[in-house]
Amino acid sequence: MFKSNQVSDLAIFGGPPAFQEKLHVGRPNIGDRDRLLERINDILDRRWLSNDGLYVQEFERKLSEFTGAKHCIAACNGTVALELLIRASGITGEAIVPSFTFIATAHALQWQEITPVFCDVDPKTHNLDPQKVEQLLTPRTTGIIGVHVWGRPCNIEALTEIAQRHNLMLAFDAAHALGASYNGTAIGNFGDAEVFSFHATKFLNTFEGGAIATNNDELAEKIRLMKNFGFGNGYDNVIYIGTNGKMNETCGAMGVTGLESIGKFIDVNYRNYKHYREELADLPGIQLIVYDEAERNNYQYVILEIDEEKAGINRNEIVQILHAENVMARRYFYPGCHQMEPYRSYFPNAGLLLPETEKLTQKVMSLPTGTAIAGDEISTICQIIRFAQQNSADVRTRMGQKPTA
């Protein structure tokens, strides 16, 4: 319970924090612990720890069943999965990507000396704006990498049409989007391929992990070779350039165990999302992003957009207030890839073409959800936000800022 009656009771002004322990965004979901430990014992008993072991194979099979994608190739993390896909699909020169994403999307290109050309996003969806994609194409462009930010699919139809018309590879960074659908079809089936992340902070995690989902046999074959040093059939037979992108068996076991609880994880996320929605309803200038309820969603991100003019308080101030209360809200994706190195030095004026991205990076924040947070904790977080907004003038004055209007 958050019981403050006076602004001075807020922890940022010296009151006791609402929570004794930090509440993090991205606390991992853990499935059936006993089953996981059984599987880990089995791995140890069989002494098969990596290199396409039984649990990784089972995980890949079950991911394919879950998504309907013909091939799901497990990898050691989402970033390496992106790198493998980019290389295997032949993207070179320049590729169009959003700047409003986690830095891994851009780095996976730059790591291979491919220039990420940052494209602005649609402020309503936070995803690539297809019209602006088209304006950025040059003779060096070979691919488009859309990101399904927060698990809300990009405008796949429009991006597919552009990619086909210009003969470009189209891939999706679906790190957030396992379990989501677009026009009823599961994410994992679009573009040339899509990449999932199973990092600890994702609602389905394998400690670290990722996967490439594709319906393209040739591409799948190439990625499988590349993720295992280019080894073909038999010992000592390298037939392609490769790296080590393999997922290990404990990660595979975690994935198989997590998949058994995936329905429960999504239900909990949805319940939390609705809880936040109800308790934050009708707060001026504070808006929870919406998901299209006609589609499948994983609801793993609870994202607020703060309109400073209407709320009387801005995103950074709310985050500071929450941090003092031990609610570790995050400013994803601040400040945007184009404002981080090396891109900031390479393209110092990129922001001029990214007005919507720049606005979003100042407005958006992420709140804790998942199985590690209880309903009464969500209520308390909402009460803090409500209290801060309702007393915004006083709060801002005490924080040394001028009240808005």
Of positions 175, 266, 318, 353, contacts ligand T4K by CB under 6 A: 175
Q: Near ligand T4K by CB under 6 A, which window of 25-33, 36-44, 113-121, 279-287?
A: 25-33
Q: 3-class DSSP state for residue 276?
A: helix
Q: Kindly tell me which residue out of 18, 26, 97, 223 binds ligand T4K, with binding defined by CB under 6 A.
A: 26
Number of residues that bind ligand T4K (CB under 6 A): 23
Least distance to ligand T4K, CB of residue 216, Å: 21
Beta strand extents in 7-78 (DSSP E only) = 23-24, 71-75
H or E element: which one contains 269?
Answer: helix 262-279
- In whole angstroms, the minimum distance from the beta carbon of 401 to ligand T4K comes to 26
Q: How many helices (H) and strands (E) does the chain have?
A: 15, 14
Check residue 191 and report its DSSP letter: S
> Can you read off the two tokens belonging to residue 193?
């391929």
Smallest gap from residue 11 Cβ to ligand T4K (A): 18
CB of 272 to ligand T4K, least distance (A): 16
Closest listed residue to residue 189, CA positions, set 57, 73, 71: 71
- Stated as kind and residue range, the H or E segment containing 193 is strand 193-197
According to CB under 6 A, which one of 91, 95, 117, 147 is a site residue for ligand T4K?
147
φ, ψ dihedrals at 304, nearest 5°: -105, 145
Contacts to ligand T4K from residues 242-271, by CB under 6 A: none
> Can you read off the two tokens belonging to residue 335?
């400040």
Closest separation between CB of residue 109 and ligand T4K, Å?
A: 12
Q: Output the smallest distance, CB 233 to ligand T4K, in A.
A: 29
d(CA 325, CA 327): 6
Do 120 and 132 meet the contact criterion of CB atoms below 8 Å apart? yes
**Looking only at residues 269 through 328 of this chain, which bind ligand T4K when binding is defined by CB under 6 A?**
328
| Least distance in angstroms from the C-beta of 325 to ligand T4K | 15
User: What are the phi and psi torsion angles at 117 (to 5°)?
Assistant: -100, 110
Among 27, 62, 331, 359, interactor with ligand T4K by CB under 6 A: 27
Q: Does 146 bind ligand T4K (CB under 6 A)?
A: no
Binding mask 154-173 for ligand T4K (x = CB under 6 A): -------------------x
Binding string, residues 331-360; x marks residues near ligand T4K by CB under 6 A: -x----------------------------
Q: Tell me which residues in 187-226 interact with ligand T4K (CB under 6 A).
A: 197, 199-201, 210
Cα Rg, the chain, nearest whole Å: 22
Q: Strand pairing partners for 23?
A: 327
Site residues for ligand T4K, 36-55, by CB under 6 A, read: none
Q: Is 100 helix (H, G, I), strand (E, B) or coil?
A: coil
Site for ligand T4K in 76-115 (CB under 6 A): 77-79, 101-102, 104-105
| Pick 283 or 318: Cβ nearer ligand T4K | 318
Which among 54, 97, 28, 14 is positioned nearest to 252, based on CA atoms? 54
Spell out a b/e string for 297-311, using b for 16 or more CB atoms within 10 Å of the CB, else e: bbbbbbbbbbebeeb
Summarize as ranges the residues that interact with ligand T4K (CB under 6 A): 24-28, 77-79, 101-102, 104-105, 147, 173, 175-176, 197, 199-201, 210, 328, 332
